[in-house]
Structure 1
Amino acid sequence: MVQRTVLKVHLSCEKRRTKILKSVSDLDGIDKIEIDVAKDTVTVTGDADPCEIIKRARKVVKCVEVVTVGPPPKKPEEKKPEVKKPEPCIYMPPSCVGSCCAVPSCVVCRPLVVVHTPQDPCTTCSIM
């Protein structure tokens, strides 16, 4: 059965972290070892005996405090993101919603077309 053992150890130097990591990692059935320097904790997850983990940690570092021993927390199942349907335009009249017409009858949804015409300098405009 998979167990999670959390030990509080004063992890002030790199030498101490390396020693405790080597001593605990030699055990069979260990899946994961996490060292949290900010919280001074060593978390061991796996099928290894928690008593053996504690004994090996205390051989290296005399002052080891057991925080928790028990099953690891369950991972929350990832939910699939829901596919949202595009909402129709707020200003669209009911006749335009869901219709298959090529040109919407809504003023906001209607495409805007701009046509540029070249200006001819030789125009015969009489207004000038």
Structure 2
Amino acid sequence: MKQKTVLRVSFNCQKCRTAVLKTVAKLQGIDSIAVDAEKWTLTVVGDVDPVRLVEQIRKIGKGAEIMSVGPPKPKPAEPKEVHNPLPTCCKECQLVAVNYLPYEGGYCSIL
């Protein structure tokens, strides 16, 4: 089951952040990883055990604690595609036919 796990991790520099990211990225089932250096948080989304995340981070000598675990935010719905190019309320709109003669004996009609 996919979940969003937020951890507080003690990383002070870019080298520490890189080491934490490399360690976490090796785990199976991760969809995304995000770091907020100002808040000292690591957010992991995927099918991974939060305790396993903490264990792996602590193995490289960094402190880590679980702040929250819960379902990830749902993705926003994509807008539906409109197939009708003409507005239904306008009676002045008309279809325009275009013929194209690409070669002798054949043609293409576009309405």
What is the TM-score normalised by the length of structure 1?
A: 0.57
Q: By how many angstroms is 1:81 displaced?
A: 8.7
Q: Which runs of 5+ in 2 are unaligned?
A: 93-111
Confirm or deny that 1:59 pairs with 2:43. no
Q: Which runs of 5+ in 1 are unaligned?
A: 86-97, 99-128
Alignment correspondent of 1:37: 37
**Quick one: distance in 2 between partners of 1:23 and 1:54?**
11
The list of structure 1 runs, each at least 4 consecutive aligned residues, that deviate by more than 6 angstroms after superposition, is none
Alignment correspondent of 1:50: 50
- 1:75 counterpart SS class: coil
Give the letter for the 2:57 counterpart.
Answer: A
Q: How does 1:55-94 map to 2 (within 5 A)?
A: 55-80=55-80
**Quick one: distance in 2 between partners of 1:30 and 1:36?**
18
Q: By how many angstroms is 1:2 displaced?
A: 0.8
What is the TM-score normalised by the length of structure 2?
A: 0.64
Tell me if structure 2 keeps the 8 A contact 1:10–1:40: yes
- 2:65 counterpart SS class: strand
Aligned length: 91
**Quick one: distance in 2 between partners of 1:20 and 1:62?**
8
**Quick one: distance in 2 between partners of 1:61 and 1:67?**
19
Larger Rg: 1
Q: By how many angstroms is 1:38 displaced?
A: 2.3
Q: By how many angstroms is 1:10 displaced?
A: 2.8
- 2:44 counterpart SS class: strand
CA 1:61–1:80 in 2, change beyond 3 Å: closer, same or farther? farther
| Higher normalized contact order (CA 8 Å, seq sep 6+, divided by chain length) | 2
When you count strand as a share of all residues, which structure comes out higher?
A: 2
**What's the C-alpha RMSD, in Å, of the aligned pairs?**
2.7
Which stretch of structure 1 is more off in the superposition, 74-83 or 15-24? Answer: 74-83
Give the letter for the 2:43 counterpart.
Answer: T
